[in-house]
Amino acid sequence: MQDNQNLEQQTEQNYEQSSAQDINQNTVESSAQYVVPDIHTIDSNSQITLEQNNITQTSDSAVPLSDTLQNSYVSNAQQYEVNQSNFQEASQFDSQPAYQTAQSNQNVSGRPTSHRSFASSPMYKLFKYARSQYSYIGFTLLLFLIGWQLAASAVSLGFAYLGIDGLLSNTNIAMAISMVTEFVIGVPILYLLLRKIPVAETKQFTMKWTTLLKYYTICYFLIIIGSIIGNLVDQVISQGAAYEEVDSMVGNSSIVVSFIFTVIVAPILEEWIFRKQLLSRLRVFGEVPAIVFSALAFGLFHMNVAQFFYATLLGLVFGYIYTRTSKLRYSVILHMCINFQGGILVSLLGDTVDFTDPESLLSNSNIVLIVLSACVSLLGLIFLVSGAINFWREHKKLVFFKAPKQLPRRLHIMAAYINWGVILFILFTVTGTVGVNLLPMIFQAL
């Protein structure tokens, strides 16, 4: 009996060590970042009981934060404030081993010896809870897209019924219909459905503007990388149709309409959806997988091959900034600046100056614009180089904190992507992407 008890203790210790490695090498223990007043445990009757938290608070010096993070927006060791009433459906199970320990003398790895032992463990209860939350969010995103597109189609049919469907060929009107229906129909569906899932209550931190500028250069660098990859894939799949679709939408719309919807409305809505609504609800199971999930959902949301790659990369940066600050303003500002630079400034300078007409290039007004274009190009080159340098320097300094209901990485990936809601959302967006980019080519070939 004594040998079995010693074996159980050794098994628990081995599992805790292996789980800490599975989560993330850069993850800081919750005692350095979280203030958890109580620990939830689930008894055999699934009743919630509360135990006093015996976690020892670690000093700030134990947190391996870079100077940039320390000076910018981490002012103390507390990041999360867990509202116990919001998390009574799952266990934190910090006071017990995540897996049932083995009784066999041949297993001291800390892993379950059978599926039955894992299925009866508290970790499996949390895994099922997390998977249900991810699935619910997947269905919510799917209904959000379907409701939005049905509403836009209904408006288009209304225009056709009234005999004014010719207005739909106007890019400004088409963009207005898309954004208005998203805000009036899609956003309420998303908000009402997501209210069921609790939000992790966190402390908010401030970021310096110099640090925000550094992240902008990183975003600029990632946009170039993502655009190159997206354009190459677009050429293979649709011979550039996806890129031409984006370019024509931006180029054929007026500057005022593009500024309102592309620079103002779109960043606010998209950051509110994918950072504020999704990330605030999923980070409680682990920060890194939640950031990756929100970024992938953000990329798929565009349903365009040319935009998917750089949108996903930008989503990773936006998600990290929001996770560390818990303030939406910083990712919104970055999103606005990027959309202005890529959708307004470049289009404005490129459309104003006709580089194919030598005589027009010599006019005084065009000379000023040419000089301005050259300055913008030089500034873009500076951002590109500095962004590559900042990315190389900062990517190893990223800090992630252990969440209140942290899942091991492999279980978190399974919970996030192996569920019907997320699978159907991915199928819908991928099908929409393929349909938008390939169907015109198929019809043209026929």
Tens-of-pLDDT digits for all 446 residues of the chain? 555 555 445 544 444 444 444 434 444 554 444 444 333 333 333 322 223 232 233 333 333 333 333 333 333 344 554 443 333 333 322 333 332 222 333 343 444 445 667 777 888 999 999 999 999 999 999 999 999 999 999 998 998 888 887 777 788 888 889 899 999 999 999 999 999 999 988 888 999 999 999 999 999 999 999 999 988 888 887 777 777 777 667 667 788 888 899 999 999 999 999 999 999 999 999 999 999 999 999 999 998 888 999 999 999 999 999 999 999 999 999 999 999 988 777 767 655 555 555 555 555 556 666 777 778 788 889 999 999 999 999 888 899 998 989 999 999 999 999 999 999 999 999 988 876 665 555 555 55
The whole-model pTM stands at 0.75
Instruction: Work out the burial of residue 173: count CB atoms within 10 Å of its CB; fewer than 13 is exposed, 13-18 middle, 19 or more buried.
Output: middle
pLDDT at 391: 95
* Degrees, nearest 5: CA angle 58-61-67: 135
* Degrees, nearest 5: CA angle 400-22-14: 125
Interatomic CA distance for residues 20 and 429, integer angstroms: 34
Interatomic CA distance for residues 166 and 149, integer angstroms: 19
pLDDT at 250: 67
Residue 165: CA atoms inside 13 Å, Cβ hemisphere, count? 9
Q: Assign residue 78 a region (left: φ > 0; alpha: ψ between -120 and 50; beta: otherwise).
A: beta
Our measurement of the distance from residue 344's CA atom to the centroid of its chain's CA atoms, rounded to an integer in Å, reads 24
Interatomic CA distance for residues 221 and 162, integer angstroms: 47
Neighbours of 289 (CB within 10 A): 24
- Give, in order, the Cα–Cα distances in Å from 153 to each of 146, 160, 223, 237, 428: 10, 11, 31, 26, 17
pLDDT at 190: 95
Tokens 């080519």 found at: 441
Write out the two tokens for 244.
């031409």
* Listed residue (420, 407, 421, 402) closest to 125, CA to CA: 407
Q: Would you say how long the chain is, in residues? A: 446
